[in-house]
Structure 1
């Protein structure tokens, strides 16, 4: 049976099916499919593709179409969680950039990093860069190459070369730099260790939350003979623990970059952090 697109150029059904199938197999370019007549640029619309394509090709076409819709839109983004195929829509007028995916992962709409309130995106970028680059080139204590350090030098965050120089009583410009570096390292380590500890605790709490959703709630319902809806407060409580760990984690990045001269702001922040 002969068929034609809106332009009127007629081809047999088998030709159309082969043409459409090949185009879909070639990738997302099928979304701008044109009439097979070389002199014609008429678009092949989705209703014709749905009518002539195989079920497998229609499914592929639908995925390409959805992906195009997400990537071309300003209000929709793919969830950055590893292995997640969901997309998230952002509604203007929201009080912040934090969004949550159906997979339970929360991220910042603005920078697509993990949700990080109360820290702004620029601080998060600086902190992540610092954590990844801090130890690559230099040991802060002896000002030597990091790769030359290990157990034989006292460890990566303690250096017996530095301690030996200090005992010799030689205090020069290099020693002054070492002392400053030691203080900077201690300060950074203080914030990083607490940031990392809360990250680990958050991951554990998130794993417990998923276990609660998938297994433990059902067992608890059987034991106490309650409807699952009556036990939703347990899930809410675990979700709050995960959120609290997330917020507390990022307060250490925030605290690290607080200027030392802003004492009132620093003291108020530490008061809130400890409450």
Structure 2
């Protein structure tokens, strides 16, 4: 922030407090600020008015109220104070320092504001500059919060800066270019530069967002209710059929409506034909059945992909145990006259296994939104090959590695993880080629 302020200040000679408000108004885009500044040359009052700041070129005696009184009444607390205890902005509104401090503390702590705190005077939109805040706030906790909010706003406005999403990590990542790409923080967290979620190649950010929302909210609960229950035609209470009889009686004590489960019509006209509904082929009945069948199919489709997604996610969570097992095996190999470098192939194998599981996990998200066509069939074959190779590598590392000889371990592990890595790259290459060639059609 300081570097940018100094860089712009070298070009246009404006006080740093005013310049910071201008940059914040333009979301810290210095090129846009300079473009507008020189675009309004000769009428630069407009750019200051848009940013809700008093122009520094305006004469000071026209901006501040001048008074020779030894005692001034504060418009907030209505108490009289000495002129030295009163302060304000260039808009001319002055208040006592106690009221200023309380007002700023409420804005910072309760409302989470930093760059857009306006003058407390009624209907005055002039922005409070940071130098005044630093003078009036003495509580270190409030000042720290204010500086954190300022920094956070600067990072969020800058498309090339990203907070690390890891818990308790306060690092900021500076990107070289704006694009969906994996970035890795010094804390070890790898995430997407676009959406800050864990790196999710090959699925796009927009589809991942829809998937996570679908997993988090109650949409699938609604699908289950729609697929497995019906509403009472009279009171609209949700009813689940737990027996074979189609003669339904609503258990709502104020309703107790009797109806047919098949056609949802009143039960009386059905007579004794409980299982041969005479309205079964009616248009409304067919429509209700079609809606329920579609809902049931959507639920089954979601569960198919969700189960496989969650399976790989669960396997990833257990890989720390595999790392520990492999670490013990690496120590054993070093005791058998192998160097530290020579045993690193085991760690490489687990790293590739985790990469394959993570890729496969997100391929099921990609497949959930994918319409079936010739390219999707090729994708599924590549996915199956990669998944089969991944499971073989996982099984070998978890079971066979403990019984095999050292020479056999090295040869088999290297062959398996190289094949896994090759299949993973083939899978990703095909998906990205489909993005470039516009092969993919999405299911809505």
Q: Deviations over 1:186-225 (max 9, x none)?
A: 11111111111111111222x337x64xx97488437724
Q: Deviations over 1:217-246 (max 9, x none)?
A: 488437724554444333322222221111
TM-score norm. by structure 1 comes to 0.60
Residues 184, 102 of structure 1: CA spacing in aligned structure 2 closer, same or farther, 3 A cutoff? Answer: same
The alignment yields a C-alpha RMSD, in angstroms, of 4.9
Structure 1 residue corresponding to 2:350, chosen from 230, 238, 241: 238
Partner of 1:189: 303
Q: Which one scores higher on RCO, CA 8 angstroms, separation ≥ 6?
A: 1
More divergent stretch after superposition (65-74 vs 231-240): 65-74
Partner of 1:13: none
The reply on whether 1:117 has 2:229 as its aligned counterpart is: no
Residues 123, 200 of structure 1: CA spacing in aligned structure 2 closer, same or farther, 3 A cutoff? Answer: same
Q: Distance in 2 between matches of 1:203 and 1:196?
A: 11
Structure 1 segments unaligned to the other structure (5+ residues)? 1-21, 32-41, 45-58, 155-159
More divergent stretch after superposition (185-194 vs 235-244): 235-244
Residues 85, 228 of structure 1: CA spacing in aligned structure 2 closer, same or farther, 3 A cutoff? Answer: farther
Residues 227, 85 of structure 1: CA spacing in aligned structure 2 closer, same or farther, 3 A cutoff? Answer: farther
Length, aligned pairs only = 228
SS in 2 for 1:112: coil
Q: Deviations over 1:166-203 (max 9, x none)?
A: 99466553122222222222111111111111111112
More divergent stretch after superposition (135-144 vs 66-75): 66-75
**Given that residues 160 and 178 in structure 2 are in contact (C-alpha distance below 8 angstroms), is that contact kept between their aligned partners in structure 1?**
no
Structure with the larger helix share: 1
Structure 1 residue corresponding to 2:321, chosen from 196, 199, 208: 208
**Given that residues 191 and 199 in structure 2 are in contact (C-alpha distance below 8 angstroms), is that contact kept between their aligned partners in structure 1?**
yes
Structure 2 residue corresponding to 1:127, chosen from 190, 201, 211: 211
Structure 2 segments unaligned to the other structure (5+ residues)? 1-100, 116-128, 132-143, 232-236, 247-260, 264-273, 386-444
Residues 70, 100 of structure 1: CA spacing in aligned structure 2 closer, same or farther, 3 A cutoff? Answer: same
Residues 85, 232 of structure 1: CA spacing in aligned structure 2 closer, same or farther, 3 A cutoff? Answer: farther
Partner of 1:74: 159
Bigger radius of gyration, 1 or 2? Answer: 2
The reply on whether 1:176 has 2:314 as its aligned counterpart is: no
**Given that residues 114 and 150 in structure 2 are in contact (C-alpha distance below 8 angstroms), is that contact kept between their aligned partners in structure 1?**
no
